[in-house]
Amino acid sequence: MDAIEQYRPKLPAPVWERIGADCRRAVAKAKPATPKQARDWLGALAHAAAHADACGQPTKAERLLTEEAIEWYLSTGYVHVNDTARSNRRGRLNKLRRALLGPDLITGDPVAYSGSNPSRPYTKAEQAQLYATARAQPTEALRYGLLALLALGFGCGLDSPEIIPLRTHDVREAPNGAVGVAVRGSRARVVLCRTAWVPVLTEATAWASQPGEARYLFRPASHARGTNTVTNFLARTKKQPGGSALVVGRTRATWLVDAIEARMHLPTLMAAAGLTTLRSIDRVLPYVRNLTPEQAAAALKEF
């Protein structure tokens, strides 16, 4: 299509030379219906590829158009715009993704145990890398903000909407030494922090606290509590080249997988996670390590 060959997004020439051919290939393969759609798709994909190129990430279109990659780009490379512009960019990339890669569900029916990327837990090595990245941040605000996200995600299994409204006094120590977090909102509950993350959580809480004041636990100096509070913060943090990006949904998935592998009593797990259905557990089951045949046989025999 002429529109694909003639249109060139406003990007530096060296960047376009590196990414342009693959972007045009992908858009042509997706078969846009109109010249305008071709330009919209090519512009959105090119800017996503340019951001990935600047971050040292792969720029092949098929990798940039996964749901996780799109959200990573929007939360780290497209944060200077308003919600409407971000939503428009997301819509164009998702339409291109479906045109290029096919529909998410060919049959139109929900698929159990899909194991989508946002549900993929972090490995131990990735968790260590994220912790090291947090400690290496250049300012206290960035450092303790990341530490709070790690402790609340890996240690308590909270997601972003539960983290944003937390206050420092919502972190409480029980007489037996356990540290709990009083979650607010529609899924209000108290979650005990995993022992390994208790020192990190208490350190971040102490930094955010101010005697006599009700302070936010995450980003205490910011009083704006929008839905993008976490993503805007993450966009300002310093990343390690080649390291894993922090996605709060994946920290919660890691907590769920660890709890399942620890054979936590199912009603206890659901209560701690604030779940009323098994849908969230369905998504992480592909990542749960199974027992050996011998262990499985013993468990089935003895229960």
Among 211, 214, 203, 199, residue whose Cα is nearest residue 168 = 214
Nearest in space to 222 (alpha carbons), one of 303, 147, 164: 164
The whole-number pLDDT of residue 3 equals: 78
Residue the block writes with tokens 């709070």: 148
Query: What pLDDT does 1 receive?
Result: 59
* The pLDDT value given to residue 108: 47
Q: Which helix (H) or strand (E) holds 172?
A: strand 171-173
Strands (E), 59-214: 171-173, 179-183, 189-192
Residue whose entry in the numeric block shows the structure tokens 């937390």: 166
What is the structure's pLDDT at 17? 92
> DSSP for 47-93?
HHHHHHHHTT----HHHHTSHHHHHHHHHHTS-SS-HHHHHHHHHHH
SS3 content of the chain, % helix, strand, coil (to 5): 60, 5, 35
Structure token pair of residue 214: 């009700």
Instruction: Specify which residues 173 forms β-bridges with.
Output: 179
pLDDT score for 112: 42
Residues of the chain with pLDDT under 50: 105-116
* CA pair distance 142, 158, nearest whole angstrom: 19
Both structure tokens of 251: 């920290």
**Tokens linked to 163:** 């983290």
